[in-house]
Amino acid sequence: MHLKNFPEARSTSAVNLTMENTQPQLRKDLTTEKQNPNSHRIDKKSVSEILNIINREDQAIAAKVQAVLPAIEKAVNLAVETIRSGGHIYYIGAGTSGRLGVLDASEIPPTFSAPRDWFRGVIAGGREALVRSIEGAEDIPEAAVEALTGAGFTGNDMLIGIASSSATPYVVHALEWAGEIGAGTAYIICNPRPLLDITVDSLIAVDVGPEILTGSTRLKSGTATKMVLNMISTTTMIKIGKVYGNLMVDLSAVNQKLVDRGSRIIEQLTDLSYEQAKDQLFAANKEVKTAIVMTHKNCSKDQARRLIVEHKGILRDIIGDVAGQ
């Protein structure tokens, strides 16, 4: 599929996660399953001491994520090319990992006025698993393919599997199947290497170390996963043209807060006053980018929309550089 068409999206060939000259791992060998000496006897600590332990452990996560930036970059490049080629990005996971994927996907449309199908989240156990644990759902691998096919996943799409332990059958099977049909694949785990062998295009292995509570990957692993997902989706949207400078020029002004923010963005990027910018926003059907183009090009709403399409959504290609931006 698109991996052949877009070789620049990955700097090396797909990553085969079979490790040479190593013995197969057991679950007990996973870093996230080991006891953390820094939280030893935590049940005997005061509230203040417990909070400080958690805080100190969390402070190390950003550095752990920094160590895998090249792998995240590869995933972003694949995501950008997937969107540009008309495909979609799917997150898939179970438990906390699945919920974080659904959360990130659900925030893309209102933040960037992106189509709702650009990013999609699939969680083991379905929608009900978002609000309560569905025991055993992650152990039914065939259900992952059923969920993906039901959601319309094809070889033109990209699948980002999320499994902190790297041992979730639901996620592993989904990635294997996605690779077989030619889709792009990335795998976010929170161990130095995966428990199960699989071939993906980008392995994002954030080594968070032992959890504060042994095996509770909703803690440091959840924090690391949220950071990585933020990086992937935000950077993809920036490269797609949803941002000018560091301003969200494609936000949907769907409430008073966003009408205010959108008006201030227009004011900042044009010579309009705040009230004039707000009027222009409403004249553009609350489309911030359209209002900015209308102002700079002194054109109608429809003409502005056509210019945006012609320039593939890149506002800077239409209005150039605005002072300070």
> φ and ψ at 214, to 5 degrees?
-50, 120
Contacts of 178 (CB under 8 A, 6+ apart): 148, 153, 157, 159, 185
Provide the 10 A C-beta neighbour count for residue 255: 10
- The tokens of 173 are what? 């099977």
Strands 184-189 and 202-205: parallel
Q: Tokens representing 239?
A: 């490269």
Residue among 33, 138, 211, 267 flagged as catalytic = 138
Q: Distance between CA atoms of 280 and 273, rounded to whole angstroms?
A: 10
Please confirm, yes or no, whether 73 is among the known catalytic residues. no
| Known catalytic residue at 49 | no
User: Beta 184-189 vs 119-123: how paired, if at all?
Assistant: unpaired
Instruction: Please identify every residue annotated as catalytic.
Output: 107, 138
